[in-house]
């Protein structure tokens, strides 16, 4: 069989660093009595599970009751997103101290390009080992690092090396490493696509490479077939991008299966928008489109959106738009229940490219937002609270991954 030549770097110099069971690991770090025990973060829905809990088959985003039925002795911990955010910042400082070329993917993982650092920092394996040791010593968390010549292979290597591992795919051995792996290791292969591939007798990455792109296209569609065949041949020309800006930001809250009053739903929405507004301003971003995401008791989902006349980072404007969307969705919620509510902002732009609208009015709300943000930065997120949230639990807000 003819095997096309793979475009390769001189060495495997891309690292994929991924914190292991991040939320659960932070809880075990901060509560030593939980180390070695199965830990679940989140109540109604499993947001994270320690490896001890995963050994019982617990996964995200599993229903909390189902998870406890699988492991009755698991310890359930409420989410503490301030703690996770602080841990993430500390880890990313180590990333950037390792190399200036860092591309964050989410709160707990990033790509790092260490090409050209051999003379001053050693081989990629030495750099990866040192990074892992620093994260363990300085932040107290386990992290897995995969090293390869492409981003895709580095990510696969870290997945194979988990938990708390270090694995390099040497240049020239990419296909030997990749082809024996199950098709589920490829980006874009979820349960539905995996079932289609299995029904066609394709179970390993090597199987996809051997049948070729045309046959793959007949099984999963031409676009997906082209994508999967390229990955099966370890083709990934992307470079680690520094300063890549998110196309959306968002947050969601799992709410359990009990009935919720309109007041509870509004309070949840207010808490999410309040946090996202601060994140927008901290990042010097503005948004035009607000998206509301709902999950119902029967696990079906719905998405509703509203695009504003002009971009904004003002909490009051975003709050008004979000409330309108929620009000329109209330008949559906009353019929089907609501187990998750989330909001995301898209159509993002920088503040410096937004033209001010006429007439130029006094921006009292903008000044209020800045004042509230500065108070929270100085005294903590609970220093100033909206009246609708007084007396309510902090809840379970989950940062959504960048698109």
Q: How far apart are CA 317 and CA 315, in angstroms?
A: 6
Q: How far apart are CA 393 and CA 342, in angstroms?
A: 17
Confirm if 355 and 309 have CB atoms less than 8 A apart: no
Residue corresponding to tokens 């270090």? 166
Confirm if 341 and 292 have CB atoms less than 8 A apart: yes
Confirm if 277 and 270 have CB atoms less than 8 A apart: no
Q: Residue 71 corresponds to which tokens in the numbers above?
A: 């492991």
Residues 230, 170, 138: CA angle, nearest 5 degrees: 105
The set of catalytic residues is 109
Q: Residue 378 corresponds to which tokens in the numbers above?
A: 């100085």
Q: How far apart are CA 26 and CA 140, in angstroms?
A: 8
Identify each DSSP E strand in 185-339 by its residue range: 249-254, 285-295, 301-312
Query: Within 10 Å of residue 303's Cβ, how many Cβ atoms?
Result: 12
């Amino acid at each position: 069989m003819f095997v096309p030549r793979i475009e390769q770097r001189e060495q495997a110099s891309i690292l994929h660093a991924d914190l292991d069971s991040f939320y659960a690991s932070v809880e075990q770090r901060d509560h030593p009595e939980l180390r070695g025990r199965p830990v679940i973060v989140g109540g109604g829905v499993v947001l994270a599970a320690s490896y001890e809990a995963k050994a019982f088959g617990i996964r995200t985003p599993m229903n909390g009751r189902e998870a406890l039925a699988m492991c009755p002795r698991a310890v359930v911990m409420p989410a503490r997103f301030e703690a996770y955010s602080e841990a993430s910042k500390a880890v990313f400082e180590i990333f950037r101290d390792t190399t200036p070329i860092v591309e964050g993917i989410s709160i707990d993982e990033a790509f790092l390009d260490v090409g050209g650092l051999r003379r001053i920092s050693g081989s990629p394996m030495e750099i990866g080992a040192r990074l892992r040791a620093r994260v363990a010593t300085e932040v107290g968390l386990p992290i897995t690092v995969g090293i390869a010549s492409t981003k895709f292979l580095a990510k696969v290597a870290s997945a194979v090396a988990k938990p708390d591992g270090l694995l390099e795919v040497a240049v020239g051995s990419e296909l030997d490493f990749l082809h024996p792996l199950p098709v589920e290791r490829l980006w874009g292969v979820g349960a539905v696509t995996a079932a289609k591939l299995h029904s066609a007798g394709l179970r390993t990455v090597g199987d996809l490479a051997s049948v070729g792109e045309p046959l793959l296209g007949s099984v999963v569609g031409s676009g997906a077939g082209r994508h999967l065949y390229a990955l099966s041949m370890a083709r990934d020309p992307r470079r680690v991008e520094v300063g890549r800006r998110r196309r959306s930001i968002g947050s969601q809250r799992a709410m359990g299966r009990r009935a919720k009053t309109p007041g509870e739903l509004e309070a949840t929405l207010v808490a999410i928008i309040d946090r996202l507004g601060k994140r927008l301003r901290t990042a010097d971003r503005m948004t035009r489109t607000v998206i509301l995401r709902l999950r119902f008791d029967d696990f079906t989902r719905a998405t509703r959106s509203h695009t504003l006349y002009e971009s904004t980072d003002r909490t009051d404007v975003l709050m008004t738009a979000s409330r309108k969307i929620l009000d329109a969705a209330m008949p559906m919620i009353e019929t089907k229940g609501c187990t998750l509510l989330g909001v995301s902002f898209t159509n993002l732009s920088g503040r410096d490219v937004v033209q001010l609208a006429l007439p130029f009015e006094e921006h009292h709300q903008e000044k209020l937002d800045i004042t509230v943000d500065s108070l929270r930065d100085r005294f903590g997120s609970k220093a100033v609270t909206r009246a609708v949230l007084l007396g309510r639990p902090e809840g379970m807000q989950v940062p959504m991954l960048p698109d």
